[in-house]
Structure 1
């Protein structure tokens, strides 16, 4: 799609091509997940603390769309309708977006994101082909995307990605994770036990539970579920104990690959310090142990 092919938003349209670049101290796989996973996007999308972004719909696949509201106190909500046109993992994404307020369409744009990098660091190059119908939209895009990409870089640098290929059908793996009776039976690293206080695995639901380590140490947990897409994705928030401070925003995705299931567990830690602390006490190894217990639970290992 070229700028002249974007939706017609009036005879006063203004065209511009904007380019942004960011160097990120995170693997390109992690940057890609932070760019595309709705749970991560909701963390970095707001350009400033005065802005709240509410996702109404998020379907990150070619042909899928994303609908969000940008909210600022005392102002009308701004709506963004986004559609994914191309998704080449860790290489390129292309999407269109249409910005509107009330009945007025303010702009339409084609957004191309190119990714490059290694396991050590990565680079994002973003090209925005913009057609706007209101004054100062180009300046707003420069400010909004610039701040958002700064946020994205920070989010990617405190994001942990764990993956496991499980030799079982996606429906079976999903049921082990989404069934409130099954989940506590396998959740946690090797040697840990799980005691549930309350569990309600639905959007708006929660799981309050204790993890007990082999040495008897008890770790209180509280998960708040925001999104549950059957056999596709679960998004939730981790709290330090019941109604405690937020620890991380997390998601699990399930992808069918040649009859097996690729499970991706992503966590955006609340601060860089928490991310460093988590890596320091072995969160990667413990998380992979948890995914290994899932594989054993479904009879795939």
Structure 2
């Protein structure tokens, strides 16, 4: 039996973004799983995403590198936990690939892509280890930053 991520939000530890996007879910999934697409939208401008290495399979590693305006790079290693093509991606920074623990786990992300009236209901849940981590992420600008990235994602999937 395969374990599946609980997608019911926990108000104490989760931050949630949901949006109805006028594009098929296959395009949204591709934008999250193909490095050449992910690097076009992932970081909120004026930041950029110079590189993404993605091994999209349960246990597979990912390293998405963001860069600020001055070019300082911030690699974000993680691992995929659940992969359901065109429906769901679950990944975490608790591991850095092949179940090797990271130094400090912060969150697990649960993405769902659900068909709705010819469009896609895109939901991103950032599930944190503690309520304090959730608050810290919210204070860092989760809603603004992830909202900007989702705008960029939406623009991309309408062009591809």
TM-score (norm 1): 0.46
User: Does the alignment pair 1:252 with 2:111?
Assistant: yes
TM-aligned CA deviation for residue 293 of structure 1: 0.7
Aligned residues: 154
TM-aligned CA deviation for residue 240 of structure 1: 9.7
Q: What do residues 257-288 of structure 1 show as CA deviations (whole Å, max 9, x unaligned)?
A: 11111100001112222211111121111011
Gaps of 5+ in 1: 1-54, 61-89, 91-151
Write the distance in 2 (CA, Å) between the matches of 1:198 and 1:176: 13
* Higher RCO, 1 vs 2 (CA within 8 Å, ≥6 residues apart): 2
1:171 to 26, 45, 51: 26
Structure number having the greater strand percentage:
1
Gaps of 5+ in 2: none
Please tell me whether Structure 1 or Structure 2 has the larger radius of gyration of its CA atoms: 1
Equivalent in the alignment of 1:148 = none
1:45-124 alignment runs, 5 A limit? 56-58=2-4
RMSD (CA atoms): 2.7
Assess if the C-alpha contact under 8 Å between 2:33 and 2:54 holds in 1.
no
Write the distance in 1 (CA, Å) between the matches of 2:94 and 2:4: 23
1:198-237 alignment runs, 5 A limit? 198-237=53-92
The runs of at least 4 consecutive aligned structure 1 residues that moved more than 3 Å come to: 57-60, 215-218, 239-244
Equivalent in the alignment of 2:123 = 264
Assess if the C-alpha contact under 8 Å between 2:35 and 2:51 holds in 1.
no
TM-score (norm 2): 0.83
